[in-house]
Structure 1
């Protein structure tokens, strides 16, 4: 077994342990993050991309290997919270960028954050007194998404995705 295989095995083990998930979910997360990073490096989706600046709790910077593992943990957390199919359908560059921002901002659990957002919207939209405000908030997020796509030169979340 060469160093790359050992590193991959360690990465998958770290992701499975951190997220308490299975090998398949960890593998999908690792592959999606790697695909996203490759796409951004190849400048397919690299316009205005966010760069990782992950730090440990004591403020010391993470190594590139630790940062990759951190991103993969965030991706696996999203898959665990929203399902394998959601993770498979997520555009790899968008997932890579989302996990970068989550890591930069020290979000403890990306999956819980997104699931909470979805559940919160469902609660607000399903309540007569807050239905209209929830719809307006969703439309504002869609407007911001369009703005972000224009800035980045992407079409994430639009019908063609």
Structure 2
């Protein structure tokens, strides 16, 4: 692991990292967010019984859109030509949903921030779509699960759920 923060120059000023000399490689990253809600809320999500419509489809689309807009939200992220963004939403138990966002590209910089942003936006959309019936939903454990490719190589989290 690098001991230096790459987004700071020699004077400690924030800057965008120059990736011009990096090799073009295939890069992927997967991030996770967990939502906890009332069992009755989760049942309505699964059965499609919420007033705002198809909660899961809307959250998937929002996550994809969020990943694509990452450089507009995170100031020092490079604009990337993503070749894949997938958002999967899985039931963990009677009161928890897992959001997984996977991003991929062939390029000079990684897609970790895009995966994290996609998982975040999908989770926030789930909250927004369900808040009319459950304002106590908790979004927790936003984490990078793994990444592949690039100069630093492959990395995997030891923690699948928090």
Q: Tell me if both proteins adopt one fold, taking TM over 0.5 as the criterion.
A: no
Higher RCO (C-alpha 8 Å, min separation 6)? 2
If each structure's helix is expressed as a fraction of its own residues, which one has the higher value? 1
If each structure's strand is expressed as a fraction of its own residues, which one has the higher value? 2
